[in-house]
Amino acid sequence: MAKYLQLVEQIQAQIDAEIWLPGEKLPSLRDQVSLSGMSLMTVMHAYQVLESQGSIVSRPQSGYYVAPRAEFLSQPVNHQKVQLAEAVDINSFIFDVLQACRDPLIIPFGSAFPDPELFPQRQLMRALNHVSHRLTPGDAINNLPPGNEALRKTLARRYAQQGIAVSPDEIVITNGAMESLSLSLQAVTAPGDWVVVENPTFYGALQAIERLKLKAVAIATDPQHGMDLNELEQALKRWPIKACWLMTSQQNPVGFTLSREKKKALVALLAAHQVALIEDDVYSELYFGADKPLPAKAFDRQGSVLHCSSFSKNLVAGFRVGWVAAGKQAQRIQRLQLMSTLATSAPMQLALANYLSTRSYDSHLRKLRQVLEQRKNLARQSLKRHLPYGAKINDSRGGYFLWIELPGQVNATQLYYRALEHNISIAPGSMFSSGQQYANYFRFNTSWPWDSAQEAAVAILGGLIAAMM
């Protein structure tokens, strides 16, 4: 084992044994050289590794400190377990927030997408160029719903690698995950029906419910464990619910992943009430650690889980290619797609099928997860340095979002407008709920390279929050 890794293990063991407590200063680099007998370069390398892992934080002109322990958010004060919304109206504000992130002068902490520089653009363009020169008149027909056969077979094999039996015939290729989710919702509901969502939830769910004139039952989520299944069961008994739209892994915006046992219980509960589960799983490849979490789809025995995902968050956003493993709803979703967008771009489908036929995708995913984890740790450390006392950061193992709770008197929407004056964007909590319970929360995108501009922007955010307190 390399010497710097030996030192990493030694210091980490001391932190775990509470020889060094959170917030305490570690020996300086030179003091550690004397203590360990290792070179300055070796000690610097070890400290950098510990910092990238989130175990320690550096403070300019001060030194290295043990990082604060992970903070887990509590429920908001006076939190309602269940909220009803017979009419959802949230689209205008979401549009304004997302438009602001398009300005190249804005530091996009409020963006929904990861840093595009993390994607293998050159290889994807090579694949697109390759298939473009080989397109035939028949390709437009061959790639109509349910979509390109080679791409659907590749996706079916990736399900099989997790032990999930999904036939290529169950898979429908869509224009990104939003189309797969919206078509799935449309397939199992009619205007006026009740749909369960999380609270807070991905704003796309609220937009789809608004567009389809549905009613929402928003059930509170625990920041670590997700939705309370007892509350869900009571809601299923009380209202004629037709569908649940849930994120079971790396939930946006909070970040939790449901346990395997909870996913299994969720599927069984919904099956008993004959309610469809629309599983939004777009962040499933962005897990940290050795094992990819199983989706709820793995426990589906009745074909009532519509598992939706895409390549937009882990490979390429611009291609707009997603899919739904739709079970018994596959035929209906194909018909709905033919009546709306007709089909997904044939060249994009062919290019992805070509790229996925190589081993490049899994290699890219491994590197992507590593970079995202490092950047998330750096962002968390910066926020801990600059946010005022009373702010809390929800810890999550995966993805590229942090969910931040501000002291109760600080309104995150007001913070959003003040931050925009400094060319900084955040995603305020009001985007993720039809009520006002998350007015003092915001979502923070950690996927961007961490440099002096990002650090300065976080310092400005901290100053704005302190002024609002």
Write down the pLDDT at residue 167: 95
- CB 94: neighbour CB atoms within 10 A? 19
SS3 349: helix
User: Which domain-ending residue is among 312, 333, 361?
Assistant: 361
Output the domain CATH number for residue 464: 3.90.1150.10
pTM equals: 0.82
Is residue 348 domain-shared with residue 373, that is, in the same domain? Answer: no
244-293 per-position pLDDT tens digit: 999 999 999 999 999 999 999 999 999 999 999 999 999 999 998 878 99
Structure tokens at 127: 């694949």
Residue 176 to residue 317: CA distance in whole angstroms: 9
Is the separation of the CB atoms in 222 and 271 below 8 Å? Answer: no
Output the domain CATH number for residue 155: 3.40.640.10
* Strand residues in 341-445 grouped as ranges (E): 392-393, 401-405, 424-425, 427-428, 441-445
Is residue 384 domain-shared with residue 443, that is, in the same domain? Answer: yes
Is the separation of the CB atoms in 232 and 269 below 8 Å? Answer: yes
123-143 per-position pLDDT tens digit: 988 888 888 777 776 666 666
Write down the pLDDT at residue 140: 63
Residue 253 to residue 404: CA distance in whole angstroms: 10
Q: Which domain holds residue 309?
A: 119-361
Write down the pLDDT at residue 224: 87
Is the separation of the CB atoms in 352 and 311 below 8 Å? Answer: yes
Average the pLDDT over 391-418 and give the result. 91
Closest to 166 (Cα-Cα) out of 175, 158, 178: 158
Write down the pLDDT at residue 76: 55
Write down the pLDDT at residue 72: 53
How far, in whole angstroms, is CA 173 from its chain's centroid? 21
Asked if residue 3 has pLDDT above 80, the reply is yes
Is residue 408 domain-shared with residue 265, that is, in the same domain? Answer: no
Is residue 112 domain-shared with residue 91, that is, in the same domain? Answer: yes
Is residue 219 domain-shared with residue 265, that is, in the same domain? Answer: yes
Asked if residue 77 belongs to a domain, the reply is: no
Across 17-21, 196-200, 207-211, the highest mean pLDDT is recorded for 196-200
Is residue 18 domain-shared with residue 110, that is, in the same domain? Answer: no
66-124 per-position pLDDT tens digit: 876 655 565 554 456 666 555 555 566 777 777 777 778 899 999 999 999 999 989 98
What value, to the nearest 5°, has the Cα angle with vertex 132 and ends 128 and 138? Answer: 125
Give how far Cα 329 sits from Cα of 72, 180, 183, 184, 300, Å: 38, 12, 10, 8, 13
Write down the pLDDT at residue 287: 92
Write down the pLDDT at residue 213: 92
**CB neighbours of 1 closer than 8 A, spacing ≥ 6?**
none
Sign of torsion over alpha carbons 307, 313, 319, 320: positive
Is residue 130 domain-shared with residue 45, that is, in the same domain? Answer: no
Is residue 301 domain-shared with residue 425, that is, in the same domain? Answer: no
Is the separation of the CB atoms in 240 and 191 below 8 Å? Answer: no
Is residue 230 domain-shared with residue 274, that is, in the same domain? Answer: yes
What value, to the nearest 5°, has the Cα angle with vertex 4 and ends 64 and 18? Answer: 50
Give how far Cα 111 sits from Cα of 104, 217, 414, 448, Å: 12, 27, 18, 10
Is the separation of the CB atoms in 111 and 445 below 8 Å? Answer: yes
Question: What is the number of structural domains in the chain?
Answer: 3
Write down the pLDDT at residue 51: 80
Residue 88 to residue 84: CA distance in whole angstroms: 10
Asked if residue 354 belongs to a domain, the reply is: yes
**Which of the pair, 1 or 292, is modelled with greater confidence?**
292
User: Which domain-ending residue is among 361, 396, 418?
Assistant: 361
Is residue 164 domain-shared with residue 194, that is, in the same domain? Answer: yes
User: Which domain-ending residue is among 313, 346, 361?
Assistant: 361
The burial of 409, by beta-carbon neighbours within 10 Å (0-12 exposed, 13-18 middle, 19 or more buried), is given as: exposed
* Strand residues in 114-180 grouped as ranges (E): 171-174
Average the pLDDT over 227-256 and give the result. 95
Asked if residue 315 belongs to a domain, the reply is: yes
The position carrying tokens 């018909």 is 335
Write down the pLDDT at residue 395: 79
In the beta sheet, which residues pair with residue 64?
58
Give how far Cα 398 sits from Cα of 54, 252, 254, Å: 14, 11, 11
* Strand residues in 335-400 grouped as ranges (E): 392-393
Cis check for the bond before 200: say yes or no (omega within 30 of 0): yes
Give how far Cα 319 sits from Cα of 50, 182, 325, 341, Å: 37, 18, 19, 15
